Amino acid sequence: MLETIRSRRSVRAYLNRQIPPAVEQEILQAGRCAPNAWDRQSFVLCKVGPDARGALAALTARHIGGVPADHDFFGAPLVVLVLDRRENLERRADAGCILENMMLAAQSLGLGSVWVDQFATLEDAPDLIALLDQFGFDPQLVICGAAAFGWPDPEEEILPRPLRSKIVALK
């Protein structure tokens, strides 16, 4: 486990190769096993299909800038949204734990992953709320986080990550 944690890096280029369903399930189950506030388990993990992916990319391009291709989750074959109830004040912390579990699971299975934060400032955007409604989600659910998963493109150079954070002790 410690080697998996130390070796995980954000991957932003993927091979055009599908992930076997059993491997997808392992990744999703790892997310479901994550700690969450008061063990409410009120979150929903959503695998994003091609049509939804295009709609989400177009929406984020309108809000953030660029063209939809700039927001297409780096071409990863698996994109997962974490949705949770707006009333859960710990939803972002819960999503962090959920996504971290999934990214570590992916790393342990030989896949790459990247946190996708393009929805962080769009939670209250009327067109995102309408799109989630169109997808059939309860209006009280909001996107709290997202990640992309896939087989890393060997052409992408993934450099070692220098650790700049500090560890301090209080007395």
- Which residue ranges form the domains of the chain, and what is each CATH number? 2-150 (3.40.109.10)
Band (pLDDT 50/70/90 cuts) for residue 66 is: very high
Q: CB of 147 within 8 A of CB of 116?
A: yes
Supply the pLDDT for residue 122: 95
Query: Strand 44-47 relative to strand 141-150: parallel, antiparallel, unpaired?
Result: unpaired
pLDDT recorded at residue 161: 80
In this prediction the pTM is: 0.95
Rg (CA), the chain: 16
Cα–Cα distance, 134 to 103 (Å, whole number): 28
Beta bridge partners of 10: 113
Indicate if the pLDDT at residue 17 is higher than 90: yes
Instruction: Say what the pLDDT of residue 159 is.
Output: 80
Average pLDDT over residues 74-89: 97
Helix (H) or strand (E) holding 57, with range, is: helix 50-64
Residue among 37, 168, 19 at smallest CA distance from 98: 37
Q: By C-alpha distance, which of 146, 68, 162, 82 is closest to 114?
A: 146
Tens of pLDDT along 128-141? 999 999 999 999 99
